[in-house]
Amino acid sequence: MKSKTTAKTTKKTRASKAAATVKRRSVAQGRLSRTGRPPAAATADMSGATQTNPPHRTSKKATIEALVRRKGGAAIADLMAATGWQEHSIRAALTGLRKTGHTISRERDDGGATRYRIAEVV
């Protein structure tokens, strides 16, 4: 008994077979490795080009810690603007900092906003 095939499945099969054929040819010609990347020998010989490492992204947790370490500390609004997180997520991150051993103090400023600051250990 033959299985039914539709035009849609036939098109998908043809497209995937064509893509596989192109990749096999590229691998055979040495343009790509089996992983799909150019071979290391081709990329290693970049005459005159300086290779620089991309800058490391700072994690949002590290951003929060840096803002809270400032002399004046940071308000929730500052932390929300820096990370793009919601208020409850900021509070959870502050709780995480407390659990890792940081002593976080809360103080009200003149405007009535609560400012969070990592207390310096003396």
Task: Answer yes or no: do 69 and 111 share one domain.
Answer: yes
Q: Is the pTM of this model over 0.95?
A: no
Q: Is residue 51 part of a domain?
A: no
Residue 28's domain spans which residues?
7-43
Most confident of 10-14, 21-25, 31-35, 115-119: 115-119
68 shares its domain with 27: no
pLDDT in tens, 50-93: 667 778 888 999 999 999 999 999 999 999 999 999 999 999 99
**Going along the chain, which residue ranges are E strands?**
74-75, 104-108, 114-118
**Residue 35 covered by a domain:** yes
Number of separate domains in the chain? 2
Both 34 and 84 in a single domain? Answer: no
Judge if 71 and 114 occupy the same domain: yes
